[in-house]
Amino acid sequence: MKTKRPGKKTEGCNKVGNVSMSKTAVVTGGAKGIGKCIADEFRKRGVTVYVIDKSPGDHYAGDIADKAVLEAFAEKVIQECGGIDYLINNALPLMKGIDTCSYEEFQYALAVGVTAPFYLAKLFKPYFRDGASIINISSSRDRMSQPQTESYTAAKGGIAALTHALAVSLGGKVRVNSISPGWIDTGNNSFEGPDALQQPVGRVGNPMDIANMVMFLCSDQAGFITGENICIDGGMTKQMIYHDDYGWKYMERN
């Protein structure tokens, strides 16, 4: 990837010479849901945000499974801002199971969920500024599963492992952490009864539950945290479930 640092002011960053006067964040899959919430929170803090997403809109539109798209996107960010402070790998991999997922679809899920985060970290490696952070969005499915979710689960498990590998390789330069959301409602729905109460906190999560943790992990307050995976699931993965205990009932699958 060829890059150059422009000597004039360019769209997106305020510059004095080639020195950015604001921080820069990249958010993949940032057009909606958790990614949009994260991008909006950065903007509220005066951070210049670059979003890449497959859907059309007021952002860089492209498929992060495509190497050429990643290279062109990274080049744009570097040319306009000269450096990067935060990389949030949030884009959603395909979820299909062993009965229906083809070889090509499984490879695509891994390309979005694991390869793209790795390659973006590699492309931006020379341009991370002091105090930079990478936050990988994994899932509580990196440690537990439902039937027919292999492509998504493998991608989320991969990015959780990639997190501690990158944290070691980038030690002293970039802190790298991951977040594993549980059930996060992105549609402003209201959940009551069992849907809410099955979580020990008594409710379904929302995008701000994740965005708040991203903001913390990117802050100086988290300066001694790297290589960690933080599960934000209302305590669901910590709850022991046995048939006929505390109202839980096992039902055989058809």
Per residue in 41-96, pLDDT (tens digit) is 999 999 999 999 999 999 999 999 999 999 999 999 999 999 999 999 999 999 99
pLDDT digits (tens, 9 = 90+) for 164-217: 999 999 999 999 999 999 999 999 888 999 999 999 999 999 999 999 999 999
Residue 108 catalytic? no
**What is each CA distance from 240 to 140, 199, 213, 245, in whole angstroms?**
15, 12, 25, 10
Q: How confident is the model at residue 12 (pLDDT cuts 50, 70, 90)?
A: low
Look up residue 29 and give its two tokens.
């899959």
What does the alpha-carbon distance between residue 167 and residue 34 come to, in Å, rounded to a whole number?
A: 23
Beta carbons of 59 and 53 less than 8 angstroms apart: yes
Residue that is written with structure tokens 């960690």 in the block: 228
Distance from C-alpha of 83 to C-alpha of 67, rounded to nearest angstrom = 20
C-alpha to C-alpha distance for 108 and 142, rounded to whole angstroms: 18
Quick one: which H or E segment has residue 114?
Answer: none
- Ordered by where they begin, the domains of the chain are 15-238 (3.40.50.720)
Burial 54-71 (b: 16+ CB within 10 A, else e): beeeebbeebbbeeebbb
Task: Check 152, 242, 246, 250 and give the catalytic one.
Answer: 152
Q: In DSSP terms, which residues pair with 230 in a beta bridge? A: 179
111: DSSP letter: I
Give the model confidence (pLDDT) of 13-52 as tens digits: 644 333 334 899 999 999 999 999 999 999 999 999 999 9
